[in-house]
Structure 1
Amino acid sequence: MDDIVRAALKKWPRVPACHGWLGLDARGDWYMRDDRVQAAGPFPQVKGSRLLHQKLVEFIGRNYEADADGAWFFQNGPQRVYVELEAAPLVLGVQRIADDYRVQTHTGADVAQVKSVWLDELGRLFLDTELGFGLVRSLDMDAAADAVNEGRWAPAERPFAELPVSFGYVLSPQRSGLTRTGA
């Protein structure tokens, strides 16, 4: 978390949380969802405006984490902005480098350990890592398939509906009702 964010939390410790205004899609893109977009439907059916400003995207990534209930949020100064997730809290890139595979989160963090590998009924590949649970982005499925074919990763099957409970994350903090207060 950025030092400026920590300082804001100390200065204003009781700012109400924000819900429904930020979404993370299955490609690792952030979406701003104003009142009009939220009224038009839930995420990801109605996404909103994709955030393109690189410095803002990096700031969100540095200040993105989960609460004790598994709801992921962006700490925007003193305010928690809870995130609507399309599939998982992390979106993972996989790159083959020589005889090894590099996995990186959509926020730019390097994954040191893949603990388990999961395949849902739609053929999407998920990795449980020391940084959290994530979906392998579609662009990187060739490299991920190579890891599976080489026996480095052995996916087990599980229905998508079971993944959030099994791996302790919340797809929609707004609809779950778990996060009604701030930090």
Structure 2
Amino acid sequence: MDPIVEAALKKWPNVPHCYGWLALDARGDWYMRDERIQHAGPFPQVKGSRITHDKLLSFIQRNYAADPQGAWFFQNGPQRVYVQLEAAPWIWRLQPDDRVLSHTGLEAQVQEAWLDEADRLFLVTDLGLGLVHSQDMGQAADAIEAGRWAVQPTTHAALLATHHVQLTPRAPAEVPSAH
């Protein structure tokens, strides 16, 4: 986490969390979802505005993490902005030298490979659960045929449950006060 973010957390520890305003699609693209977009429909059917500003993307990606309940967020200074996920918290990009990189640029070590009911390839790595980018499926097939990954069948719901991933984090229900 960036030092300026850690300093902001200490200075303003009780800033309310934000829900529904940031999303990550199955191709590793980030989207802003303002109130109008949120009311227009659920993610990913209505995506919002794709974030393309390099410095903003870099800031989001450096400060991207999960809470103990499996909800992913971007720590924006003192405010935690929870992320809606289309498929998984990581989108894997396969490199020509056989490395696996996350959509944030982090290198990952593959531990397991899973194919869900929609024929999407998920990899479990030392970073966690992620989806192989659709443009990298040819290279993924080569890795499977070469015996580098043994793919097992599963369902998307089972993967999410096993790896404690929340696709759509929600604010905790408020506890009614006793009068």
Contact 1:27 1:138 in 2 (8 A): yes
SS of structure 2 residue aligned to 1:173: coil
Q: Which amino acid aligns with 1:165?
A: A
Residue by residue, what CA displacement relative to the aligned partner does 1:23-44 show, whole Å, maximum 9, x if unpaired?
0000000000000000111111
| Partner residue, 2:67 | 67
Q: Hey, what's the Cα distance between the residues in 2 that align with 1:110 and 1:48?
A: 28
| Partner residue, 1:103 | 100
| Partner residue, 1:162 | 158
Contact 1:69 1:178 in 2 (8 A): no
SS of structure 1 residue aligned to 2:99: strand
Question: Which of structure 1's runs of 4+ aligned residues deviate more than 2 A?
Answer: 177-180
Q: Hey, what's the Cα distance between the residues in 2 that align with 1:119 and 1:179?
A: 34
Query: What aligned pairs does 1:83-162 form with structure 2 within 5 A after superposition?
Result: 83-97=83-97, 101-111=98-108, 113-162=109-158
Q: Hey, what's the Cα distance between the residues in 2 that align with 1:179 and 1:159?
A: 29
Q: Hey, what's the Cα distance between the residues in 1 that align with 2:153 and 2:172?
A: 28
Q: Hey, what's the Cα distance between the residues in 2 that align with 1:69 and 1:122?
A: 26
Larger Rg: 2
Compare relative contact order (CA 8 Å, sep 6+) and give the higher one, 1 or 2. 1
RMSD across aligned C-alpha pairs, in angstroms? Answer: 1.2
Q: Hey, what's the Cα distance between the residues in 1 that align with 2:48 and 2:162?
A: 29
SS of structure 2 residue aligned to 1:116: strand
SS of structure 1 residue aligned to 2:131: strand
SS of structure 2 residue aligned to 1:108: coil
| Partner residue, 2:24 | 24
SS of structure 2 residue aligned to 1:96: coil
| Unaligned residue ranges in structure 2 (runs of 5+) | 175-179
Q: Hey, what's the Cα distance between the residues in 2 that align with 1:179 and 1:129?
A: 33
Q: Which amino acid aligns with 2:17?
A: A
What fraction of aligned residue pairs are identical, expressed as a percent?
61
TM-score, normalising length: structure 1: 0.92
Shift of 1:158: 0.5
Q: Hey, what's the Cα distance between the residues in 2 that align with 1:131 and 1:179?
A: 30
TM-score, normalising length: structure 2: 0.94
Residue by residue, what CA displacement relative to the aligned partner does 1:94-128 show, whole Å, maximum 9, x if unpaired?
1231xxx11000001111x2111100111110001
